[in-house]
Amino acid sequence: MVQLTKVEEEIMQIIWDKGKCLVSDIIAALENPDTPHSTISSVVRILEKKGFVAHKAYGRTYEYFPTISKEAYAQKGFKSWFASYFDSSPAQLASFFVKEKALKPKEIDELLKQLEQLKKK
């Protein structure tokens, strides 16, 4: 799966949230609604070429919808990130969170419960 640019990902987030939408719907949902229609339309067409969206035509109006779920994209992205930074090692990832003190006690307890359940299987 192709990695999205920051702008493409921002637009995909909107499309995922809306399910089906017009370019005008995307523009209305952007932080900067002054973005030209042609710019957003171009990005959406790129997303279509990359296989992330498809469209249904109603005359000259196109309704866009996602062809890849947000979860599928996130999973693929996470696997790539995980492999790049932690050699696909859950132990290295857990060690990173411990060293960074990034986990709250409640989160640690929840992880320990999940690990115990996994261990029992």
What is the pLDDT, as a whole number, of residue 74? 92
The reported pLDDT for the residue numbered 18 is: 97
* Domain-wise residue ranges, the chain: 6-66, 89-121
Average pLDDT estimate for 104-109: 88
What is each CA distance from 16 to 3, 69, 110, in whole angstroms? 16, 7, 29
- Top pLDDT among 52 and 33 is at 52
Model pLDDT for residues 63-74, shown as the tens digit of each residue:
999 999 999 999
The predicted-structure confidence for 15-42, as pLDDT tens digits, reads as follows 999 999 999 999 999 988 889 999 999 9
Instruction: Report the topology of domain 6-66.
Output: Arc Repressor Mutant, subunit A (1.10.10)
- For residue 67, with 0-12 CB atoms within 10 Å meaning exposed, 13-18 middle and 19 or more buried, which class applies? middle
